[in-house]
Structure 1
Amino acid sequence: MTGPTGSDVGGGSGVDGAAVRAARLAATGLRGPGLPDASAVVDALLAVQGQELQPALWGLSRRVAPSSRPGRSALNAALADGDLLRTHVLRPTWHLVRPRDARWLLELTAPRVERLMASTERSWDLGDLRPGTDAVAAAVADGPRTRAEIKAELVARGALDPDAPGLAFTQMLMHAELRRLVISGPPPAGKELQHQSYATFDDRVPAGYGPLGERFDPEAAVVELWRRYLPGRGFATLNDLRLWSDVTVRDLEPALAALVDAGEAVRVPGAGDLEGLTLVATAATAEAWADGGAGLGGGPEGGPDRPVADLLQAYDELLMSYRETRHVVLDPALPPPDRAGAYVHSLAVDGVVAGRWRWPAGRTALDVQWLRDPTPAERAALDAAVADLDTYLH
């Protein structure tokens, strides 16, 4: 493996795709000893894309230490209890976050998300939906409510036309989330959280701005974004973070410079399939991988004789945390992950996408489609991953 040895690290040829892939497997928690629980996983990753909720919870479980790995019911309980929250943040999509991070992340990214939403609303001629968010807040004032209950309340109050497109109601709920009026609540009794409910934001999120303190400082927030993103992602480019967070390059560049000046982050030149790119990592990550991966979960795992298979949810952070350099987990000889249809999830072998699968949803056998012919060892690795999923579900 080529170690990261750029000018901030000490000269050399830089870091290539294989090294970056191995570092990301460790940093995102798919390799190494694992974390104590799912809350620690979300802490480490800051935000985890989660519109496919139950598969996303499975993805969290894979990053917990095997000795304390939770099952499906435990992770749904963490959402019901508010230890994990689900809301629209960073981009116009669902993410799982910790309560102490919800307020500052929304303050930082909500204005951009609302601008993107406005384009959709204009194209559908939906008008200004933001005034209706007060009615959404009123609907949950006496306790959590399901989507259906909130919609009925909005129609009764005259805040929503009963004949409006379904998108109007969805967008109105999103505006209420972005304005920090509501956030995910507990599910109805006996239901998992695909039956989305909403609760008053301040009832589920502590006062203040988490790591920023009592007041929100936009420049400090972007520094914190880098500070929290990098340890859980290994090596990434500025554009990787820009496309993950939707924060502008104009804001990201000075915050990164501050961390580099402080010695918390380093810039590392790309090599091989990353030639011409500048990657960023924490100083600890760069030093560890320059030393062959020591101190980061024992370095890369797997190989031709002992491959490791990962059943990745469609929007796993190994795939979605990067845009400019996502190709390091893709086989150029195979089609990229396809999220159309039922087979939206990805099968990876040693960190490289090699197939796709669909969530079992009550089926007794997992339905997997290889994108190439697997070796016997790779089939055995998949069998082990399927057994782990069966244990998780049952």
Structure 2
Amino acid sequence: MNAQLTLDRLRGLRLIAQLLGTSTAFPRTPAQETVVGVSKHLLATQAQNRPAALKAIDLRARADTGTTADALNRSLLIRTWSQRGTHHLLAAEDVRWMTLLCSPRVLATSTKRRGALGLDDAAVDRARDILMEHATEPVGRQTAYELFASVGVDPGDNRGQHLLRHFGGEGTLVQGPPQGAADTFVLLDAVCPLSIDLTGDAALEEMTVRYFRARGVATQKDLQWWSGLKLVDIRRGITVAEEAGEIMPVPGPGGEAMWIPTWAADVTDAEIEATLEQVLDLPAFDEYLLSYTDRSHVMDSEHLVSIGPGKNGIFKAFRVIRGEAQPVVAGA
């Protein structure tokens, strides 16, 4: 087993893995200079706040502001509900397999809510059929609600929002190019006919390897929270990825069981220090915080109110100083 990680090394490895630092052990590829390449590297980027998600990708790609928005408008990137029932931004070809891998538990919970919303299976089926018939082109939210009503399904009292999110979790419906600030909804096949074909353990291994490769240092509970999968599945994915030589175990700063991608073992102390010397301004809901359920390694608990998550679950923009997330002070 590798030597115990220091807190500085953990922070540095995370920054490098998230394309916010550099190392010869993990050289950036030409693809990772593009917004699509960055999105593929991160696999799934929290996108509850759409403008913040676009900024997070632009920043890592070192691209002009608006480059990610253009890719979203062209459906090279897709905003959808791939995991945890919340919005994420993914490269189009990764949407279907990630959604089908990570969404079943969310769908099961969603199905149980139908009775409380006044929905039965027949109503859900009618709503799905009418929407799928029309969503070969992007459909606005209000239009979707009108379609539901046309088949006797009242979209009021959160039923319309529930149905859209549920259909998104089924892996066929995604958000289309936004119309200004308004959302649209479209069939994935209509905007991305070519998807990576991964299922079962192959999909689990792919997700596990790409998570650690792009997150640097994490625990199995971090990956469980990020993906929304059961812990038994996460353990199997880690075992397979470790046997394939893609990741390795290492004790964390407190002795906790963590894993790193194999390239991380070759990152030099000088590269860690150079990475930590940067001062970075990151947007709300950035993956530097949202990738891990235990954020204590990079954020002091005193900042929970000023950065998040607050009681409403909102994360604010923050500044990274020596790898630590700190609130942005106005005028500073």
TM-score by length of 2: 0.87
2-structure distance, mates of 1:223, 1:299: 32
> Quick check: 1:130–1:175 contact (8 Å CA) kept in 2?
no
Greater Rg over alpha carbons, structure: 1
> Quick check: 1:23–1:293 contact (8 Å CA) kept in 2?
no
Structure 2 residue runs of 5 or longer lacking an equivalent are none
1-structure distance, mates of 2:117, 2:170: 22
2-structure distance, mates of 1:121, 1:343: 26
Following superposition, the deviation at residue 170 of structure 1 comes to: 0.7
**3-state DSSP of counterpart to 1:95:** strand
Report Cα offsets for 1:176-221 as digits up to 9, x if no partner. 2122332122233xx2xx311112221122345x1xx4xx431111
| Aligned partner letter, 1:319 | L
1-structure distance, mates of 2:79, 2:102: 15
Q: Which residue of 1 aligns with 2:296?
A: 327
2-structure distance, mates of 1:233, 1:348: 18
**3-state DSSP of counterpart to 1:85:** strand
1-structure distance, mates of 2:199, 2:303: 45
Quick one: structure 1 residues 30 and 261, their matched pair in 2 at CA, closer, same or farther if it must change by over 3 Å?
A: same
2-structure distance, mates of 1:168, 1:332: 37
Q: Which residue of 1 aligns with 2:286?
A: 316
Of the candidates 59, 63, 72, which is equivalent to residue 62 of structure 1? 59
Of the candidates 324, 327, 331, which is equivalent to residue 355 of structure 1? 327
Report Cα offsets for 1:125-172 as digits up to 9, x if no partner. 54446312222212223x2111111111221232x215x31x210111
- 1:134 correspondence with 2:126: no
Pairing 1:380-391 to 2, within 5 Å after superposition: none
Count of residues paired in the alignment = 320
Report Cα offsets for 1:24-53 as digits up to 9, x if no partner. 111112233973121111111000010100
Identity of matched residues, % = 25
Following superposition, the deviation at residue 229 of structure 1 comes to: 0.6
Pairing 1:208-227 to 2, within 5 Å after superposition: 208=195, 210=196, 213=197, 216-227=198-209
Of the candidates 42, 47, 55, which is equivalent to residue 44 of structure 2? 47
Q: Which residue of 1 aligns with 2:187?
A: 200
Report Cα offsets for 1:262-286 as digits up to 9, x if no partner. 2221000123xx32x111111111x
Quick one: structure 1 residues 91 and 332, their matched pair in 2 at CA, closer, same or farther if it must change by over 3 Å?
A: closer
| Aligned partner letter, 1:300 | T
> Quick check: 1:85–1:99 contact (8 Å CA) kept in 2?
yes
- 1:173 correspondence with 2:164: yes
With a CA cutoff of 8 Å and minimum separation of 6, indicate the structure with the bigger relative contact order. 2
**3-state DSSP of counterpart to 2:154:** coil
2-structure distance, mates of 1:246, 1:293: 36
Quick one: structure 1 residues 153 and 122, their matched pair in 2 at CA, closer, same or farther if it must change by over 3 Å?
A: closer
Q: Which residue of 2 aligns with 1:288?
A: 266
1-structure distance, mates of 2:145, 2:301: 46
Quick one: structure 1 residues 161 and 124, their matched pair in 2 at CA, closer, same or farther if it must change by over 3 Å?
A: closer
1-structure distance, mates of 2:34, 2:234: 31
